Amino acid sequence: MEARCFEVKTEEAGQRLDFFLSRRLAGALSRAKIKRHILEGLARLNGLAQDRPDRLLQAGERVEILLALTPAPPGAEPGELPVLYQDEDLAVLNKPAGLSVHPSPGEPSGTLVNRLLARFPSLRAQEGERPGIVHRLDKDTSGLLLAALREDSRLALSAAFAARLPRKEYLALVYGVPSPGAGVIDAPLGRHSRQKTKMTVRPKDGRPARSDYRVLHAEPRGRFSLLAVRIHTGRTHQIRVHLAHIGHPVMGDARYADPQTAARALGGQAGAERDDFWRAPASRQLLHAWKLAFPHPCRRDAAGGPLELSFVCPPPEDFIEAALALSARTRRLILTGNPGCGKSSALRLLRERGVPVWSADQAVARLYAPGADGWLLLRRRFGMRFMAEAPGLAPPPIDKKALFAAMCAEPGLRREVERLIHPLVQADMRLFFQGLERLSPPCPLAAAEIPLHFEGAPHAADSGADERPLVAGVHCPLEIRAARLRQNRSWSEAMIARMESWQWPEEKKMAAADFVLDNSGPPDKLALEVDGLLRLLEEKRLQSRAGLEQTLRGLMQG
């Protein structure tokens, strides 16, 4: 680098920094390049770094700028360079993510241009520091890129891009789902006022920029969507800024994806943006140049007009992997059945096989603890009627025997207690499932034992979930269940009849379930039933994943 220093004369006071340097360096650098130098931090004013091209100068100030010496021509370097099409005039490439298009002061080698020179040595005959380049993609954007192999075709293609003749369409995985499902983003863009390496929407003084989008696939929970985006202008970072502007930033975009927006889309709780929960399962912004159509600069079609070339390039595997990872969810399994059927035994078997489990009975016990929400509701509604006498204990515990006796004697009171307590139980279960689904990756399966799942009004256990849980009914004939209840719980015939009357008949319950576990035999038979259910659920999970993958691959093929 070469340092050039100047002192601001009296007649030069009030000039912009970039204008001043363009006058002093006339013939050496264009004003556009001087502006770029300033934005890259290569200018100093009175010894301090200055990154504002519009800074107004005062007489006597000292201006210094670092100029790159005459750059050495880029060298040829081997590397991956998928060529989708080539003739003597041009080549269409599939640029890998993570590869810069051309050398720069901070990255003088290891770019696509270096690989192009290794693949096409004739490019050395072209003028300039970027042989073959007629348009660009961001370093971490993958996909279709057009390169000119001859100087005349480079000039023709550059003119075509300047006239906006090529048609470019991108794929983007974004946080959330835009509404409406198709639209136009017409928002002028310009340099950010404080962060010079960023672009932003500038309605008053930005350069015109227009992007059209349409939703190709929306994740059912609204966590993410796959968009096709066509750009009518080619501003720096246009798609990334436009999509962030409408509240649906590109996944993995460390520069423009607001963590709070992303965390909300993925279902994060308050503060989730401070950890890695919001980040996409990818190491780069998931943006891919998908389709490219343009007139050939030298060839003609049968009618004598320019030959139209059109290409479609599916994205790399990280698109599919990210979509599948973010579509993963916790399958919710409900165990239900009539008293004595063996629900708790089935739940224990699931827990022993590594499945997280939840029990409505245990949730009720927690809610009835002194000072808990259920205790507070009963105390507020019934006063001390169902509070046990417990000298020295404050607050007093619930007298569960007295409460149960009253519920047996007064059907209206039983229904009122159910209306008070059931919503709390269901909320506790939702928190259980949601916590497992927020893991990374989500827990694939969790089970909840709910004796009154079907009797709940109206299937309240489903509320808060966008997908209906699967229900496994535990079947056992009444005579076997009654014998177990008499032996294991010392229930009387009257108690058995009363508890049966509070629930659907077993035949109706089993008919409404998705699966039936037969517990009419010995204990090892129930274990086999549970193992069979787990195998079936895993098959369903894999089938669902394969179906989504097939759908996404079909869409991405164009």
Please list the active-site residues: 138
Q: How far is CA 396 from the centre of its chain?
A: 48
- Helical residues (DSSP H) of 133-211, grouped into ranges: 151-162
Q: What residue type is 487 in one-letter code?
A: Q
Residue pair 260/270 in contact (Cβ under 8 Å)? The answer is no
* Rounded-to-integer distance, Cα 210 and Cα 168, Å: 12
Type and span of the H or E element at 400:
helix 400-409
* Rounded-to-integer distance, Cα 31 and Cα 521, Å: 88
Using CA atoms in the order 488, 490, 494, 498, what is the torsion angle rounded to 10 degrees?
-50
Neighbouring residues of 366: CB distance < 8 A, sequence distance ≥ 6: 372, 428
Sign, Cα dihedral of 459, 461, 466, 468: negative
Residue pair 208/233 in contact (Cβ under 8 Å)? The answer is yes
- The distance in angstroms from the start CA to the end CA of the chain is 47
Instruction: Please name every residue paired with 472 in a beta bridge, in sequence order, or none if there are none.
Output: 335, 515
Q: DSSP string covering 291-340, please? A: EEEEEEEEEE-TTSSEEEEEEE-PPPHHHHHHHHHHH--PEEEEEE-STT
Q: How far is CA 518 from the centre of its chain?
A: 41
* Rounded-to-integer distance, Cα 113 and Cα 131, Å: 7
Put the strands of the sheet holding 331-336 in their side by side order.
357-359, 445-449, 331-336, 470-475, 515-518
Other Cβ atoms less than 10 A from the Cβ of 212: the count is 15
* Rounded-to-integer distance, Cα 425 and Cα 467, Å: 19
Residue pair 462/554 in contact (Cβ under 8 Å)? The answer is no
* Rounded-to-integer distance, Cα 209 and Cα 202, Å: 10
**Degrees (nearest 5) of the Cα angle 475, 407, 454?**
35
* Rounded-to-integer distance, Cα 57 and Cα 60, Å: 9
Closest CA to 174 of 315, 326, 286: 286
